[in-house]
Each structure stands twice: as structure tokens, then as C-alpha cells.
Amino acid sequence: MTALKINITLVKSKYGRLPVHKDCLRGLGLKKINQTVQLIDTKEVRGLINKISYLLKVEVA
């Protein structure tokens, strides 16, 4: 069984955001605008995405 992967792209700036939201970005491995990371779709990753969904673009890989 292969794990489903998702591509996550940071589309808005992290500056001026709440410290908790910056921690979520760090947890996802995002540092710069337009940076894309590919992660395994788990409930932990989905929780981080839901918290800062207004900053991200999410696609199924």
C-alpha cells in the first residue's frame, strides 16, 4: 500500500502572523513564499494545514 502524498505551497507571507501559525509553517517545512514541499497525507499534517489554510495551496500529488 502506497501512502498518499500532497504538495503544499506557501502563497502568502509569514510576516505579521501569529506565533502559533509561524510554528505550523515551520512544522510543515515551509520557509519562503512559493516554496513547495511534498508530505505524506496524515492526520497530523492535515491538522497543521487546516490551522493555516489561508496561507497555503494544497494539491494531491
Is residue 52 within 8 A of residue 11, CB to CB? The reply is no
Kindly report, residue by residue over 9-50, the tens digit of the pLDDT.
999 999 999 999 999 999 999 999 999 999 999 999 999 999
User: Which CATH number belongs to the domain containing residue 30 in this structure?
Assistant: 3.30.1390.20
Q: Identify the domain containing residue 39 by its residue range.
A: 5-60
pTM of the model: 0.90
Number of domains in the chain: 1
Give the CA dihedral 52, 23, 37, 43, nearest 10 degrees.
-70
